[in-house]
Structure 1
Amino acid sequence: MDAKPRRTLEITVISGEKIRVDQNPVAENVYVVIRPEFINCYTTKIGIREEGLIAWNEKFLLDIPMHAKLVTFEVQCKKYKGSRPIGVARIALSDLEGVEENNFLQMFSYGLTDWDGRRNGVIHFSIRDCLISEMKHVMGISSCGFEHQVMGFQVNEKKSNDVVIAMTSR
């Protein structure tokens, strides 16, 4: 049975600036949740405050179905007993179409809005299309229980016996 068509994007969440909580500059406990079309979510670690920016510098491989229309970046703050959303950017995948054609790293900066619709900072990230969806022989193998999954595919099925292996963590 053939797998459903998908696209894999490498997204690196770089940093955020001018992000505030209750009109105060955010000092700590800020992280980003990335949701492609509300299917899965990927979460960064707590950001590090550097010279007015909050730095994450975390890379994710997102499997995005071909029918997907948007990717959501949600900046949240761990506060008291739970997490509090403080800014969101919903980005149409059609805005990122040049990534697919050129297959090289592209940088983006998008404005964040809070849940009342007010501007609340900017998020900086990069995107690169990994073209894994074009590989014919992709296979997932459980390597360490539920912690990691190893993915491998044949590099060139006509001329090579080499296999590329990648390990993803959840």
Structure 2
Amino acid sequence: MTMGSSSGAPPSRTIEVTVISAEGLLVNRKRPVKNTVSVTVRTSPFHSGSTGVDPEGRSCPSWNERLVMELPAHTPFLTVEARAGSRVVGAASIPVTDFAGVHLPDGYLSFVSYRLRDASGEKNGIVNLSVRVRGGGSSSCAASCSRPWMGVAAAEGGAVVMGVPVSYTY
């Protein structure tokens, strides 16, 4: 993995994507996908990873398979493709800022679900993922994310009441 260069380029990061499951995948918008379903995750034309096929061959495939790859600096999107054999049945472009924004600490584990679309742009299923980005984390978050939450114990059982100041004009 390349961690930057002497030219001062931002360092690349490592991304861990666990492809958990998918649901509602159809072939030709008519019949459920039953077997040979896999998922490919691409961070760039040169960095990608793929799951194996769903071992059960179900219409709602599940993998729970972790893919680790490089996330080059300034990558705007991940591409996720669900495939039945060699055919792409659904794809999504996922903004990297959804799980690696300036308000998330380095290594934060995000659980996300995205709508997939077929080649004609029609809705075709949902993919469920967890994503963790390591390296090149945001230093702007470090101070605010490390502060303890403030609250007042509400009652027995450990519940906490949170208050957020809001300006109000009469």
Q: Is TM > 0.5 for Structure 1 vs Structure 2?
A: yes
Structure 2 gaps, min length 5: 5-10, 138-170
- The equivalent position to 1:64 in structure 2, one of 59, 68, 71, is 71
Instruction: State how 1:1-170 maps to structure 2 within 5 Å.
Output: 3-4=3-4, 5-22=11-28, 23-49=30-56, 53-78=60-85, 83-98=86-101, 100-101=104-105, 103-131=107-135
Q: Select between 86-95 and 34-43 the one with higher mean Cα deviation.
A: 34-43
User: Normalising by the residue count of structure 2, what TM-score does the alignment of the two structures yield?
Assistant: 0.68
Question: In 2, Cα distance between the equivalents of 1:90 and 1:55?
Answer: 20
Letter in 2 for 1:115: A
SS at match of 2:105: helix
Q: Select between 101-110 and 46-55 the one with higher mean Cα deviation.
A: 46-55
1:101-125 CA-to-partner distances (Å, cap 9, x unmatched) read: 2633210000000000000000000
Deviating 4+ runs (over 4 angstroms):
49-52
**Contact 1:100-1:129 within 8 A present in 2 as well:** no
Q: How many residues align?
A: 128
Question: In 2, Cα distance between the equivalents of 1:48 and 1:113?
Answer: 23
Structure 1 gaps, min length 5: 135-170
Question: In 1, Cα distance between the equivalents of 2:39 and 2:58?
Answer: 19
Question: In 2, Cα distance between the equivalents of 1:100 and 1:68?
Answer: 17
**Contact 1:12-1:58 within 8 A present in 2 as well:** yes
User: Normalising by the residue count of structure 1, what TM-score does the alignment of the two structures yield?
Assistant: 0.68
